Amino acid sequence: MDYQEIIYEKADRVATITFNRPERLNALTQSMRAEILDAIKDASADDNMRVVVFKGAGKGFCAGADLTPKPSPSGEPAQPAPNSGLPRDGFQETFARVMWDMSKPAVASINGAAAGLGFGMALSCDMRIASTAGKFAAAFSRISLVPEACMTFYLPRIVGLARAAEILYTGRQVWADEALGMGLVNQVVPPEELDHAVDSMAQTLANAAPIAIQLTRRELYRGLEGTFAGQLEMELFHQKFVGRTLDAREGPRAFMEKREPDFQGR
């Protein structure tokens, strides 16, 4: 696909998807949504990529759906831009499912506002690193809409039910420092240090044992809806499987030789 509204880059086993409509705080258009899904599916299928990073160009992560009215060629009053050419939940459902099933960890770089659907997309990532200018908002209730992208699944599990209810009911903004205190983000750094912090985390994950990371991610996410017995059985099965891989031999060998391991994903 020829990307026009995102920037998709691959380097050092990290796939980076940058929302690239800075003049609109990276609000999502129909074509932008298609590009995002295409890039995510490509990154997920590429065995050379071990981490996916989401960023926003300019001063915002993603302001949600672009509701700017489109001019009418007939001279009739302009109508708000539709959220998508798909049914209303088409994009957010596909995005949520792809992110849930993806075998690779995802990191969101929150450089400014992550609002509405942009907030939901950030919640779908495994980790969020924010600058001090980062903020989150889900003002759906203020315009008589409901949350998207499975926000009501992720948010209470990350910050607790009472805090999630407050954020979603009131639609208030949550700034980076408060987000750090409630566990919504993993780190908060000055704006000029955000790219370095995200790149450092991405490289740490990219250098880790990919099979172990993939199975650990699966265990964590299945655990959100699983049982004690099911989790225990899954861990035991995965331990036996991973123990037979070449990477499981490389890890202890590198430790004994006092060097960094070179995991091959085998």
Q: Do the domain assignments include residue 262?
A: no
pLDDT tens digit string along 36-57? 999 999 999 999 999 999 999 9
Domain with residue 228: its CATH number is 1.10.12
Q: Do the domain assignments include residue 1?
A: no
Confidence of residue 197 (pLDDT cuts 50, 70, 90): very high
One domain, residues 244 and 189: no
pLDDT tens digit string along 107-121? 999 999 999 999 999
List the domain range (segments joined by +) for residue 229: 210-256
- pLDDT at position 110, please? 98
Residues 123 and 40: their CA atoms lie apart, in Å, by: 15
One domain, residues 199 and 215: no
Q: Do the domain assignments include residue 112?
A: yes
pLDDT tens digit string along 61-75? 999 988 776 655 555
Q: Do the domain assignments include residue 144?
A: yes
- pLDDT at position 84, please? 45
50 phi, psi to nearest 5 deg: -115, -15
- pLDDT at position 89, please? 52
Q: Going by C-beta distance under 8 Å and a sequence separation of 6 or more, which residues neighbour residue 133?
A: 59, 111, 112, 176, 191
pTM exceeds cut of 0.85 = yes
One domain, residues 146 and 175: yes
Q: Copy the structure tokens of residue 230.
A: 């099911």
pLDDT tens digit string along 239-263? 999 999 999 998 989 899 999 988 9
One domain, residues 16 and 56: yes
Degrees, nearest 5: CA angle 56-180-176: 45
